[in-house]
Amino acid sequence: MDQRWRPTVNEREFIEQALQSDLRVDGRRPFDFRKLTISFGREDGSAEVLLGETCVMGYVTAQLVPPYKDRPNEGTLAIFTEFSPMADPAFEPGRPGEAAIELGRVIDRGLRWSPDGCLAVVFLFVRELEVWSLIRIHFWSVRRESRAVDMESLCVVAGKHVWAVRVDLHILDNGGNLTDAANIAALAALSTFRRPECTVGGDDGQQVTVHDPEVMDPLPLTIHHLPIAVTFAYFGDGNIMVIDPTYKEEAVMGGRMTATINSNGDVCAIQKAGGEGVMSSVIMQCLRIASVKAADITSKIKTKVDKYTTEKALQKVKRTPAIVAKEVNVPDVTMKESTHSAMENQTSKAPNDGQQISEGDENHQNTKMISTLTADRTVKHKQTPTSVGGPSNWDPYSKGVSLSSLRISRLPDPPAVANDEKHEDAEPMLTESNPEVKSVSNSGSAGESDEVKESRSPESLVDAVKPKHKRKKKQHGKS
């Protein structure tokens, strides 16, 4: 019935023996983390973390709810974990019988643990063994007690509507050290999560309208700092410790301790549930090591999140190519600086129409192919507010020219050089091309509007060439 994997005597002895000489079975040193890979999903707020062989996926959603009575102007954060049996044969599907008892105990602890000025009750769904439940409490309490996520910014109408943020963590593969991996997954997901913008209006100022992400850009959560969990496993008499234990090491270890530290060196939480006793000097040493590791991991998370955010922002820009061009009031903004805010300015001014979405779809596919060129495009965007979408869509590397040349026959005769007409013509073509373009990379909007502009105003194309080259050189100069 219990399908847990048990270590053999040989493994147990060997792991301990190897640790005597500071050797770990996978070739790491005692204080090395395994390779960390963070990847993001298609939607905002979903992240998958691979720490060696451990795989955890985090997913964040938010909902408007009435707040708790004793905290009327704060939002809530809830963390749910799913231990799926595909992660480990020891995890059983469904809710185990003792869950009710555990849940009661956990909530009780939750109430007692929330310090003054912090949040109200947070529900924890516990689906597995008690050991894991303890880890979860720690982990949740870290997020709340340490005020990593700003709760007051989640308030919309005090006493009536607040955002309840829910983090779902799915354990996909248990390769050891689930705490750390799950923590990173939650942080990554929270950092990339965007909650919908909402405005308060109506007669009594109480009515809340939640805006569709297409209309108004969703907002990120305010995250003050990233508390990173670092887990230590103890062996022997509590004097040998390693960081980031693997599955086998966990089966053989004497005890474990998790220290949650942020890059400022603040200890957010320490969790040691059972296991062997360790001396306080050892704990202090662990904390010191953990702070070093935390800084390292924080920087990794931040670079990954930033990279993802800029890519997403660039995608958004491409969604609204020609239309936004005339509305752009952005002065000289370089690529590196306020890319994000500039995009938001542009996209927020863009009108909301279904055609944008189709472009968006297209551009999703295009992005992957043209990611290197996106830099060029955005630069063109900002620096040519007057030229009407021509240069900003002109893609010299477009492979779809042949496809678009087929479309010339479908082009309406170019009338006057009115902006609106151009846009309108561009878009029906784009929507048409959507199904066909899917199989062709790189063509689509770029090639077609290219043709449009070419047929209409060859002069503007020539003009486009020169400035584009200039811009390209500037771009290279800057970067």
- Site residues, another protein (CB under 8 A): 6-15, 17-18, 21, 23-27
Q: Would you say 16 or 361 has its CB closer to another protein?
A: 16
Q: Would you say 246 or 457 has its CB closer to another protein?
A: 246
What's the min distance (Å) between Cβ of 84 and another protein? 21
Report d(CA 166, CA 371) in Å as an integer: 32
Q: Would you say 22 or 152 has its CB closer to another protein?
A: 22
What's the min distance (Å) between Cβ of 231 and another protein? 22
Q: 87 — phi, psi (to 5°)? A: -80, -35
Residue 290 identity (one-letter amino acid): A
The neighbouring-strand residues paired with 229 are 260
What's the min distance (Å) between Cβ of 38 and another protein? 25
What's the min distance (Å) between Cβ of 281 and another protein? 27
β-pairing, 76-83 with 155-157?
Answer: unpaired
The neighbouring-strand residues paired with 76 are 164
Going by C-alpha positions, the residue among 85, 47, 19 that lies closest to residue 246 is 19
Q: Would you say 33 or 113 has its CB closer to another protein?
A: 33
Residues 256 and 186: beta-carbon distance below 8 Å? no
- SS3 (DSSP) at 195: strand
Q: Give Rg (Cα) of the chain.
A: 27
Going by C-alpha positions, the residue among 292, 276, 238, 283 that lies closest to residue 258 is 283
Count other C-beta atoms under 10 Å from residue 4's C-beta.
9
Q: Would you say 8 or 281 has its CB closer to another protein?
A: 8
Q: Would you say 50 or 151 has its CB closer to another protein?
A: 50
What's the min distance (Å) between Cβ of 340 and another protein? 42
Around 96, how many Cα atoms within 13 Å sit in the side-chain half-sphere?
Answer: 18
Q: Would you say 16 or 296 has its CB closer to another protein?
A: 16
What's the min distance (Å) between Cβ of 15 and another protein? 8
Report d(CA 88, CA 178) in Å as an integer: 11
DSSP string, 223-255: B----EEEEEEEETTTTEEEES--HHHHHH-SE
Q: Would you say 13 or 150 has its CB closer to another protein?
A: 13
What's the min distance (Å) between Cβ of 248 and another protein? 8
What's the min distance (Å) between Cβ of 253 and another protein? 16
Q: Would you say 26 or 150 has its CB closer to another protein?
A: 26
What's the min distance (Å) between Cβ of 9 and another protein? 5
Report d(CA 172, CA 259) in Å as an integer: 23
What's the min distance (Å) between Cβ of 7 and another protein? 7
* CB-based burial label for 20 (10 Å; 0-12, 13-18, 19+): exposed
Q: Would you say 13 or 266 has its CB closer to another protein?
A: 13
405 Cβ partners below 8 Å, 6+ apart?
Answer: 451
What's the min distance (Å) between Cβ of 24 and another protein? 8
* CB-based burial label for 164 (10 Å; 0-12, 13-18, 19+): middle
Residues 401 and 453: beta-carbon distance below 8 Å? no
Place of tokens 């890059």: 263
Going by C-alpha positions, the residue among 66, 54, 45, 244 that lies closest to residue 149 is 45
Q: Would you say 12 or 105 has its CB closer to another protein?
A: 12
Q: 332 — phi, psi (to 5°)? A: -65, 100
